[in-house]
Amino acid sequence: MTLSRRHVLGLAALALLLPPAPVRALDFEQSRLTIRTRDGRRFPFRVELALTPEQRAQGLMYRESLDDDAGMLFIYDLERPVMMWMKNTLVPLDMLFLARDGEVLGMAEDAVPQSETIIPSNDPVKAVLELKAGTVARLGLKPGDTVLHPLLVP
């Protein structure tokens, strides 16, 4: 069977209208961490660990929801400035930028879903913790608080 040029162009146009094929979801190791505020309050979270370049690139993309006590911890090999974005991320997020000992150096609150706006750490960081938007305000988190996790050590 041969297809005419008109059929080929029609199929190509149809392909442009179809949603992209789903990205293969990567497996993420599960872990627990605690956020300790400077006044001593503690908040436990269940997190997924983004440890490889592929995991960090995928992050929380395509997730349709995130529990109040859940998140993702991105760990980098070296402390360095990082840039995050929300492309293909469907839920709004708060981001905590962390030193190697877990100290919160900076925050970005209520990142807009599917935005390509770059969200910089401003400082060199070892990790980024992404949480459901509103968590920073709800818990009263501030720079100087600490994220306690075995991968974040002095």
The model's pLDDT over 57-76, given as tens digits with 9 standing for 90+, comes to 999 999 999 999 999 999 99
Structural domain span for residue 126: 26-148
Residue 142 belongs to a domain with what CATH number?
2.60.120.1140
Within-domain flag for 15: no
Tally the domains of the chain. Answer: 1
Q: Residue 26 — very low, low, confident or very high, per pLDDT cuts 50/70/90?
A: confident
DSSP 23-81: PPPPP-EEEEEEEE-TTS-EEEEEEEEE-SHHHHHHTTTT-----TTEEEEEEEEEEE-
Task: Name beta bridge partners: 44.
Answer: 34
44-53: pLDDT as tens digits: 999 999 999 9
pTM of the model: 0.84
Query: How much is the pLDDT for 31?
Result: 97
- Residue 12 belongs to some domain of the structure: no
